[in-house]
A and B are shown apart, each in its own frame.
Chain A
Amino acid sequence: MNDLIIQLKKVNYRYNDLRVLEDIDLEVEKKEFLGIIGPNGSGKTTLLKIILGLIPPENGEVFLFQKPISKFKDWQKIGYVPQKATQFDKNFPITVEEVVSLGCLHTVDHKKIENALSIVEMGKFRKRRISDLSGGQQQRVFIAKALCSSPELLVLDEPTVGIDSNSQEKFYDILSHLNKDHSITILLVSHDIDVVVNEVGKLVCINKKLVYEGQPKEFIKKDYLEKLYGKGRKFIIHGH
């Protein structure tokens, strides 16, 4: 068995009477760039919350870095960019540097902060208030924050919502660089199939159950999209 970063065995989740996730099995290996897609309400964010230990599964097992999640303590190994990262209170008085420093929680390592900001090319904005930046720039700052603790796994939930296409392109370039050159395992959740299939190394599609797991290109060839989203969906592949 290779280095498993995430392992889910028969994970179920129910919200009141509504079944949200059913028998999900999932394995993420070191250095993988995995995309999780699915329609709205398919359970993507719930799955992510279970992986991050924010909610416990109804049943099933979750392992992080080969440890049962209940015994997992090395949370600094995981960098997380939440879905609503850029939807913070715009009056919150905080600078780019201060946001990034939250990522390296128990140390005030200025070198690490500078390094994380230079990876996302935001070094010159250090002293600016985060609310003064554009959505794309803010998202890069949140990645820098997630990078501050030198994580081995980066988890991103719908990171490009509300960000223009130029900034999105830049954003995916940074993720690809982190994955290839810094060997960071990436787990990206998105509803934006068109872009995701082009960027990730492995694709998982869920709709309460696991619908597809494999190469993104295979996913496009087969008729999964029609099953998931209904007939008549136009599929555009964006190239760089």
Chain B
Amino acid sequence: MGTNILEIFKYSFMLRALEAGIIISILAPIIGIFLVSRRLSLISDTLSHVSLAGVAIGLLLGIYPVATAIVVSILAGILIEKLRGDKNISSESTLAMFLSGGLAIAVVLISLAKGFNTDLFSYLFGSITTVTVSDLWTILILGVIILVTISLFYKDFLYIAFDEDGARVAGLPVKFLNILYIVLTATTVSLSMRIVGVLLIGALMVIPVVSAIQLKLSFKNTLFVSILISFVSVIIGLFASYFLNLAAGGTIVVVSLIIFGIITLLKK
């Protein structure tokens, strides 16, 4: 490489990418651990495709795309949660419909207005050069709100993930908590797409958690190890992306997959 590794800190765009990346690396597995435990990993992929439609709406109307993505994915999330309670439609079909529906709407909107294809590319796969100051502030403020909410309702979410009926009998407002959780998931997905990209955020929510689960720890320690794996993946991924000129989102996910592979081999 020949370049000084510290030169990365000279560039404000890189500092913003690192700061945003660190926040996302903490948020993704915190949301992801409940998704994986409830076998609902596909929800993150579904919401990310829906948020792409939100991005397209934002770009088309000239509104801040992260904001439109958050609004659209939260609305879709609430609708998915409502439909999950419907006995006539299976959860899987609901997710499949929203996933392809979100993508379809995005594609239609993109074809309506030509000219923002390059912008859209960075939302699809993430980029280290495109994190703006307003992105960073949005990620920071909403990130803190998500973290505080999860820590307030940690035990309630754990109870529902482990035993939903039991949580109901214990008097927990399960319906409300499920909607709150999907709103947090939708927001995290939308926040993460600047760095990791819409198509890959699901992976950052799932792979660190699945890696940590193999270590057979308590729920709390599995969560800490997931955050550590996610953090290391994002940092290595962003540095590699800068020095080797690779797509940020893809590199981050590949690093997390390598960590998953190492843990799997060591556990055998």
Q: Which A residues have a C-beta under 8 Å from some C-beta of B?
A: 52-54, 73, 75-76, 78, 80, 82, 85, 88-89, 91-95, 97-99, 101-103, 105, 127, 129, 132, 149
What A residues does B39 contact at CB under 8 A? 89
**Contacts A52-B169, A75-B169; A88 near B162 (Cβ below 8 A):** yes
**Contacts A93-B37, A93-B222, A95-B219; A82 near B165 (Cβ below 8 A):** yes
CA distance A234 to B156 in the complex (A): 46
Given contacts A93-B216, A94-B218, A99-B162, 13 further A-B contacts (CB under 8 A): A54-B165, A76-B170, A80-B166, A82-B163, A89-B37, A92-B37, A92-B162, A93-B219, A94-B158, A98-B158, A98-B220, A105-B155, A105-B170
CA distance A80 to B37 in the complex (A): 22
CA distance A129 to B158 in the complex (A): 15
When the two chains form the complex, which single residue of A80, A98, A132 contacts B218, counting CB atoms closer than 8 Å?
A98
* B216 and A129 contact, CB distance less than 8 A: yes
CA distance A130 to B169 in the complex (A): 21
What A residues does B163 contact at CB under 8 A? 82, 85, 88, 102
* A75 and B165 contact, CB distance less than 8 A: no
* B169 and A53 contact, CB distance less than 8 A: yes
Min Cβ gap A142→B in Å is 9
CA distance A92 to B159 in the complex (A): 12
CA distance A94 to B33 in the complex (A): 12
Could you name 12 residue pairs across A and B whose Cβ atoms are closer than 8 Å?
Answer: A75-B171, A82-B169, A85-B163, A92-B161, A93-B37, A94-B162, A98-B220, A101-B155, A102-B159, A102-B166, A129-B216, A149-B170
**Residue of A75, A99, A102 ringed by the most chain B CB atoms within 10 A:** A102
Min Cβ gap A20→B in Å is 16
CA distance A93 to B170 in the complex (A): 21
When the two chains form the complex, which single residue of B155, B166, B171 contacts A73, counting CB atoms closer than 8 Å?
B171
* B219 and A98 contact, CB distance less than 8 A: yes
What B residues does A101 contact at CB under 8 A? 155
CA distance A129 to B212 in the complex (A): 14
What A residues does B220 contact at CB under 8 A? 98
Chain B positions 146-205 with a Cβ under 8 Å from a chain A Cβ: 155-156, 158-159, 161-163, 165-166, 168-172
Min Cβ gap A188→B in Å is 16
Cβ of B213 under 8 Å from chain A: yes
Chain B positions 204-247 with a Cβ under 8 Å from a chain A Cβ: 212-213, 216-220, 222
CA distance A95 to B217 in the complex (A): 8
What A residues does B212 contact at CB under 8 A? 93
